[in-house]
Amino acid sequence: MFADASGRITRFSRENADLAKAERLRNRAILPGLVNVHSHAFQRVIRGRTEYRSGAERDTFWTWREAMYHAANLLSPEAIYHSARMAYLEMLLSGITTVGEFHYLHRAPGGIPYQDRNLLAWQVLRAADETGLRICLLRTVYARAGWGKPEDPGQARFLTPRFEDFIGDTEGVRGALPSISRPGRAWVGVAPHSIRAVPLDYLCDVVSYAQSNHLPVHMHVAEQPAEVEACLAEYGLRPVELLHQHGILNSRFTGIHAIHITPEEAGYLGKAKARVCACPTSERNLGDGAVPADRLFAAGAGICFGSDSNVQIDLLEDARLLEYHLRMNKLERVVLAPGSSKDALARRLFASATETGAESLAGSVGSLEVGRGADFFTVDLDDPSLAGAGDALLNHVVFSLERTAVRDVAVGGEFVVRDGHHALADEIIRQFAGVQRDVWDAV
């Protein structure tokens, strides 16, 4: 594989191979880098800290959210940077080479804007650049606590009440990227947080801006039944119905979760050629429910994957769980296979973790083709999780791979992980441990 100065693949050839590199890659398979479409990097801080009963009558997504808000309001800009580096390091070590960062921490604790309104965006972009991860920064709009609800102090850091401010801040990031990032390594999308958090007129303005600038649009949709009930109460329509009626669904739209949807809503998403980002490791942790992937695929919608709350960062685990959740609900096997070939299901799920994810983020990555980014990872064919794979290698990768098998990771043709080691790993882990002590000693 040969790449040009910008890190794009130019050709494939065995000629003039570097024998030293070839020796290092002996008995390893090369796979296109995984694309993590939906991450909240700062939530890496709360991993393992909410697995107890809170004292509420029922512990749900909504009680977890209060704990998340509390932690979010303890993080300094530097702590956000260290938390992002930790999450991004873990992504790279698992074969992820591109992330969509759903970035909604914008203000200082208490809700006062920083003098540099994009200060926290710079921390996240800096973390991605230093670790070597490609990033689509999905600048998030959060304008209210919900329809008819009073302001929530826990959300004060998230808010951008005025559309003009959101556009100005987003343009500020877009304008600065050429001077702070290498070509193709960082770009911007927009992310109205959810229907409950963004009034309809504001939402339509944001989507219009994105369409005029050919930017991807990502949005939490129908993650919880309560969101559907609130949308029905405010607008008389379910979330996807509302988006469909106002022309928001199209091939640049990705709905995050889309768990509690009807067959008709799945049809709207499919007809629009929209995508759904499933986050099964996070969704099972939060008790959200299972994404109706069979219904979505049948309707023609694309499915990609995200690590969301980063309770676990393993995109191939997300891929297999998409299928396994349906197996448990339907009491049958091989639910999502598009054909009868022995690797049809593995091919569909791996494509969702690579090609469909790249399409969702509008990134020229996700497959090893001339003209695309030279992003790939290698797996050790002697790893116990792959032993004996033979001609069933892709099935082993999708359904059985352990992260111990991931040995090398390259982004833009540059190795950022060699033999399972990232050059900054020790420093990143040490500094993140300090953040954890500071945050949880304060709780």
Percent helix / strand / coil, the chain, rounded to 5: 45, 15, 40
DSSP string, 135-182: EEEEEEE---SSTTPPP-GGGTTT----HHHHHHHHHHHHHHHHHHS-
Burial of 202-214, coded b for 16+ CB within 10 Å and e otherwise, reads: bbbbbbebbbeee
Which domains does the chain carry? 27-441 (3.20.20.140)
The answer for 307, left when phi > 0, alpha when psi is -120 to 50, beta otherwise, is alpha
- Pairing label, strands 406-411, 376-380: antiparallel
Q: Which H or E run includes 257? A: strand 253-257
Residue 304, token pair as written in the block? 């990609």
Q: How many CA within 13 A on the CB side of residue 259? A: 22
What residue type is 324 in one-letter code? Y
CB-based contact 37:304 (threshold 8 Å): yes
CA distances from 81 to 78, 85, 86, 182, 184 (A): 5, 6, 9, 19, 21
How many C-beta atoms lie closer than 10 Å to residue 22's C-beta? Answer: 10
What are residue 40's DSSP bridge partners?
none
Q: Give pLDDT tens digits for 394-428.
A: 999 999 999 999 999 999 999 999 999 999 999 99
Provide block-wise average pLDDT over 10 residues at a time, the chain (443 residues).
82 61 72 98 96 90 93 96 98 98 96 97 98 98 95 95 97 96 95 98 98 98 97 98 98 98 98 98 97 98 98 98 98 97 98 98 96 96 96 98 97 97 98 94 71
* Sequence-separated (6 or more) residues with CB below 8 Å from residue 59: 53
**Which burial class, exposed, middle or buried, applies to 395 when counting CB atoms under 10 A from its CB (0-12, 13-18, 19+)?**
middle
Distance CA 287, CA 282 (A): 9
> Residue 97 has which token pair?
């080479």
Please spell the DSSP secondary structure of 70-90, one letter per residue. HHHTT--HHHHHHHHHHHHHH
> Which token pair is 75?
């993080």
What is the reported pTM? 0.96
Name 384's Cβ contacts closer than 8 Å, sequence gap at least 6: 402, 404
Q: Cα angle vertex 256, ends 250, 262, to 5°?
A: 75
State the Cα–Cα distance between residues 357 and 35, nearest whole angstrom.
5
**Would you please indicate which residues are annotated as catalytic (active-site) residues?**
257, 308
Q: What is the pLDDT of residue 19?
A: 42
pLDDT of residue 388: 96
In whole angstroms, give the CA distance from residue 395 to residue 239. 36
